[in-house]
Amino acid sequence: MVTKTTDQMKALALKLYEINAFKFGDFKMKVGINSPVYFDLRVIVSYPDVMQTVSDLLVSHIKELELSSKHVCGVPYTALPLATIVSVQQHTPMLVRRKEAKAYGTKKLIEGIYQAGDTCLIVEDVVTSGSSILETVRDLQSEGIVVTDAVVVVDREQGGVANIAKHGVRMHSLFTLSFLLNTLHEEGRIERSTVDAVAKYIAAVQINSDGSFIGGDKTVAPNEFSRTKLTYESRANLAKSPLAKRLFNLMVAKQTNLCVAADLTKADAILDVADKCGPYICLLKTHVDIVEDFSENFVVNLQELAKRHNFLLLEDRKFADIGNTVSLQYGQGLYKIANWADLVTAHTLPGRSIVQGLKAALTGDNATKERGVFLLAEMSASGNLIDDKYKETSNKIATEGGDVDYVAGIVCQSASCFAFPGLIQLTPGVKINEGVDKLGQQYQTPEHVVKERGADIGVVGRGILEAASVEKAAVTYRDRLWAAYLERVAK
Ligand SMILES: O=c1ccn([C@@H]2O[C@H](COP(=O)(O)O)[C@@H](O)[C@H]2O)c(=O)[nH]1
C-alpha cells in the first residue's frame, strides 16, 4: 500500500497545476457565478502517471480511514476512470450510475450486480456544493443501497462537506483548495496576493446543495478576480509560456505596454524607428515581407537594438496554413523567421495544427531558443468574418492541451475574448483619435483599449510612424497606455 506523505501530496499538487488540472482566472461556474479558480480533472486521463498517483493515494486514503464497503461508485463522468482503478486495486466490485435511464431494456439507473442493503463508497473528482455527489447518492438509495461515505480528490471548501453531511454522507478529500493554494505559493508558483484573493472569494461564496448561495447574495461575484484587475507582476507568475512570463516582467521593469508596429518598407527606416522608440516599448512588431531590402544584416541589427533597449521582436506573419507549410514558412525561406523573432502571430483557422506546425520548426539551434505565438482571435478590420464560436475555439487552443507553453497571448479586441490571466492580450487599432481609415482599420484611444477592451499591450503603427516626432509620439502613447493600465488595476 502507498502511504500518503506530505511531500507526495505536494508533488502531486504541483503536477496537477502543471498539467492544467486547475488554473486561475475568471471562470463561469455551473451554479452561474464566476470563480477565480477552475478545476478540470478530466485532463488526467491523458497522463497515466498522474492517474496512477491519484488513484494510489485515493486507495491509501480509503485504507487509512478504514472505509470498507461492498461496492464503489464513481460520480459520472470524470470520476469514472478513478473509481474503476480503485475498484480493481481493492477488489471491490463497481457500480455504474447512468445519468439518464435507458429508453429500452431494463431502464436501470444503476448498472452492476447488487442487492438492497449493500453498502457503497462514492468516488468523486472535485466538490463545490456537493450536488453531484447527492444526485448519485439519491439514485443509489432509490435501489436500497446504503451510502455513508464519499472520497474526493479536491474539496473546493465551498459548502460541500456540510451539504452532503445533511444527507448522512461523510466526505473525505485528498486535497483542500487551501492546501493546493499554500503549496503553490510555497513553491513560488503563485503570489501571496493570489492566495489571499482566492481565499477571500471562497469565504464569501458558500453554496447550498441546490445551488443557492448561503447569505443569498450572488453579487459577491468577484469582478476583482478577472484578469484585467490583476497586475502584470502577478500574471507573470500564472503564465504557462516562458515567453509570456518574460514579456510581463519586461513590461513591469520598463513600465511600458506599448508595441510599435514598424510597418515600413526600408530596412534602415525600421532600424531608425526601433532605435528611437526602443526605450519606450516592450515589443517591436514587423511585417518582414514588406521590407524591400531585407538582408541577414538587417536582422542582426534589429536584434542588437532589441538587446540594447530591452524589447522583444514580434513578426506579425499571421500564419494560416497547414502544419507542414507553416513549419517551412516559419523556419525556412528568405526570412528564416524562427531564427530571430521572439514571437510570431498566427490565425487559428487551421485549428491546433497551426501551433504544432510552428513548434515543429524549432529544431537545431532554434530548439533551445525561447519562442512563442500570439493567436488571432479577433481582428480590428471592420466587417471581418470572425464569430463567437471561432473566438471560443481559439481560446481553447490557447488554454488547453499540450502546447499551452508556446502560446504567449491572444490578439483580440475585447476583454471577454479570454479569461486566463497568464495570457497577454495584444490589441491593435490604437490611435489618439478614434475612427476608421479608408481601408477599414478601426481605431480606439489608448485609454479605451486598455480600460474598456482589456488590452494588455496596445499596438500603435501609423499613430507613431506618421507623427512629426516618432520619439515624442512613442512617449505619449507609452504614457497614456501605461497610465490606463495603472488605473485599471487600481479601481
Ligand atoms: O486585427 C489586427 C491584427 C493586426 N493588425 C496589425 O497591427 C498594425 C496596426 O497598424 P496601424 O498603423 O496602427 O493601423 C498593423 O501592422 C496591422 O497589420 C491590425 O491592425 N489588426
Q: Residue 351, annotated ligand binder?
A: no
95 and 172 housed in the same domain = yes
- Which member of 10, 63, 200, 318 is catalytic? 318
Within a domain: 1: no
Residue 463 beta carbon below 6 angstroms from any ligand 1 atom: yes
The C-alpha cell at 424 is: 497577454
Residue 263 beta carbon below 6 angstroms from any ligand 1 atom: yes
- Rounded to the nearest angstrom, the gap between the alpha carbon of residue 213 and the centroid of all alpha carbons in its chain is 27
Q: Pick the range with the lowest mean pLDDT from 92-96, 185-189, 424-428.
A: 185-189
**Distance in Å, CA 101 to ligand 1 centroid:** 54
Distances (CA, A) of 328 to 319, 320, 321, 324, 333: 11, 12, 10, 7, 7
- Give pLDDT, residue 31: 65
The C-alpha cell at 181 is: 493554494
Query: CA 77, CA 82: separation in Å to the nearest integer?
Result: 10
473 and 333 housed in the same domain = yes
- Give pLDDT, residue 54: 96
DSSP state of 450: I
Question: What's the pTM value of the predicted model, to 2 decimals?
Answer: 0.72
The C-alpha cell at 317 is: 506573419
Is residue 93 within 8 A of residue 83, CB to CB? The reply is no
Higher pLDDT, 229 or 124: 124
- 348-386: per-residue pLDDT in tens? 999 999 999 999 999 999 999 999 999 999 999 999 999
| 289 annotated active-site | no
Instruction: Give the residue from 225, 252, 284 where a domain finishes.
Output: 225
Instruction: Give the residue from 225, 260, 281 where a domain finishes.
Output: 225
213 and 282 housed in the same domain = no
Residue 442 beta carbon below 6 angstroms from any ligand 1 atom: no
- Give pLDDT, residue 191: 86
311 and 447 housed in the same domain = yes
- 461-490: per-residue pLDDT in tens? 999 999 999 999 999 999 999 999 999 999
**Distance in Å, CA 147 to ligand 1 centroid:** 60
| Band of pLDDT at residue 103, cut at 50, 70 and 90 | low
Within a domain: 395: yes
| 316 annotated active-site | yes
Residue 428 beta carbon below 6 angstroms from any ligand 1 atom: yes
- 381-436: per-residue pLDDT in tens? 999 999 999 999 999 999 888 898 999 999 999 998 988 889 999 999 999 999 99
Residue 278 beta carbon below 6 angstroms from any ligand 1 atom: no
236 and 326 housed in the same domain = yes
CATH of the domain at 34: 3.40.50.2020
- Rounded to the nearest angstrom, the gap between the alpha carbon of residue 367 and the centroid of all alpha carbons in its chain is 24
Residue 462 beta carbon below 6 angstroms from any ligand 1 atom: yes
Q: Residue 380, annotated ligand binder?
A: yes
Q: Residue 461, annotated ligand binder?
A: yes
Residue nearest ligand 1's atom 4 by CA: 428
CATH of the domain at 322: 3.20.20.70
Q: What is the 3-state secondary structure (H, E, C) of 241-280?
A: CHHHHHHHHHHHHHCCCEEEECCCCCHHHHHHHHHHHHHH
134 and 253 housed in the same domain = no
Mean pLDDT, the chain, integer: 92
- Give pLDDT, residue 412: 97
The 3-state DSSP composition of the chain as helix, strand, coil percent (nearest 5) reads 45, 20, 35
Q: Residue 263, annotated ligand binder?
A: yes
- 143-179: per-residue pLDDT in tens? 999 999 999 999 999 999 999 999 999 999 999 999 9
- Reduce the DSSP state of residue 197 to 3 states and report it: helix
Residue 321 beta carbon below 6 angstroms from any ligand 1 atom: no
Is residue 383 within 8 A of residue 368, CB to CB? The reply is no
Q: Residue 409, annotated ligand binder?
A: no
The angle subtended at Cα 418 by Cα 216 and Cα 160, nearest 5°, is 35
Mean pLDDT in residue range 178-201? 90
Mutate to test the pocket of ligand 1, among 291, 316, 436, 442 (most ligand atoms within 8 A of CB): 316
What are the beta bridge partners of residue 154? 126, 175
- Which member of 40, 272, 321, 405 is catalytic? 321
Is residue 164 within 8 A of residue 129, CB to CB? The reply is no
**Distance in Å, CA 479 to ligand 1 centroid:** 20
Distances (CA, A) of 96 to 75, 90, 102, 172, 379: 8, 16, 13, 21, 47
Q: What residues have CB less than 8 Å from 204, skipping those under 6 apart?
A: 220, 222
Type of residue numbered 422: G
The C-alpha cell at 386 is: 470572425
Mutate to test the pocket of ligand 1, among 263, 313, 314 (most ligand atoms within 8 A of CB): 263
152 and 168 housed in the same domain = yes
Give the residue from 50, 25, 72 showing the smallest Cα distance to 419.
25
- Give pLDDT, residue 216: 45
Residue nearest ligand 1's atom 13 by CA: 461
- Domain carrying residue 127: 6-225
Residue 460 beta carbon below 6 angstroms from any ligand 1 atom: yes
**Distance in Å, CA 330 to ligand 1 centroid:** 20
Instruction: Give the residue from 170, 191, 225 where a domain finishes.
Output: 225
Within a domain: 308: yes
| 387 annotated active-site | no
Residue 380 beta carbon below 6 angstroms from any ligand 1 atom: yes
215 and 332 housed in the same domain = no
Is residue 358 within 8 A of residue 346, CB to CB? The reply is yes
- Give pLDDT, residue 336: 98
**Distance in Å, CA 341 to ligand 1 centroid:** 18
187 and 327 housed in the same domain = no
Detail the DSSP E strand segments found in 269-354: 283-286, 312-319, 343-347
Higher pLDDT, 222 or 193: 193
- Reduce the DSSP state of residue 190 to 3 states and report it: coil
Structural domains counted in the chain: 2
- Give pLDDT, residue 219: 45
The C-alpha cell at 395 is: 481560446
Type of residue numbered 374: F
Determine which helix (DSSP H) or strand (DSSP E) holds 28, and give its type and residue range. strand 22-28
**End-to-end CA gap in the chain:** 52
- Give pLDDT, residue 229: 86
